Structure 1
Amino acid sequence: MRLLRLVAAALAAALLAVLTAGPAWAHNALVEAEPSKDAKLTAAPEQVRLRFLQKLDEDRTTIAVTDAEGRKVPASEPKADGKAGSITFAEPLPNGVYTVTYGVVSQDGHPVRGTYSFTVNAVAPPTAPSPSPSSSPSAAAAAVAAPASVILEEEKGGPAWLAIAAVIGVIVLVGVAGAALVRRRRS
């Protein structure tokens, strides 16, 4: 009976460690986007607004939009407001496919980057904006020049899930070993 109490205490301690250590493993992640991923819009959006799990650092937040040819769409510098970041377009977007590329930094310092696309198919398309060459690309624009295949760590089952799975595996092993010992002593 004493061994059973010892095993139960070990399981409770392991469970407590898993539940309290969760935020230390957490990386920031995109939770909401306007326009949303793969959206088919009948009117051009005025801005892109992204909401994340953690508060954003405005100096380390990048958001950019490119057209189907990979040209950067003229927009404001990214603004961070708590957990949300946004850019506003200088002119209405013409019909076409657009790619949003973003980069933020988690509270633990881990960079998180991602991309997604949306389509504008307005009934009466606005006139196409004339391309305005950028005289000097900012560091923020350079930081978001990530390939389209980049996705979030969480979306591809990053290290946070591995750590949680490992702790759960240890808990299960301790429980099985404890049950085997109790059964062995009774025999």
Structure 2
Amino acid sequence: MEKIKQLIQASISVKQQLMEDDALVSVIGMVADVITNAFRDGRRVYFCGNGGSAADAQHLAAEFSGRFYTDRKALPAEALHCNTSYITAVGNDYSYDVIYARLIDGIGQPGDVLVGLSTSGNSANIIKAFEVARERGMVTVGFTGQTGGQLKALSDYLINIPSTDTPRIQESHILAGHIVCQLVEETYFQS
């Protein structure tokens, strides 16, 4: 029982630090604005991650393309890892490190947004995707842990959760992502 309470408290503590970091809270608001403007301009939002972060990326993409709070039209967002035939073919024929970069090279357009979730900020396939996204004139948004890792330098906007503990980081990624989804939905559909 005490261990469970300690784990809940650890999650609350990270979220408390996030809430008290005005600069980071501001970045979350900026990301919501960037995504809202991208949708208004007819652009798309792509998500990528690995493992649990892939699940979180898929979750957040679904909040846009499905619905969040309101019954409204779908927004053009997708998680890049959902085509298993593509992922396994490129991983096998080329390298797992280029699974997202190749796809971004094929479908990314200037003004589109690429959101990469990596608790370390050092996932090679997301780093390569961000490099290609920048070459294509896309906006890059990194969801990472405390240091930002290598994604820090490649992110136009960095939501670096103040923790080095993977589960606590992922829990806060979903929190920040849900905030972005709610703000985008409210702003985009207010008129």
Instruction: Quickly name the TM-score band, shorter chain normalised.
Output: under 0.3
Considering fraction of residues, name the structure with more strand: 1
| TM value normalised by structure 1 | 0.25
The structure with the larger Rg is: 1
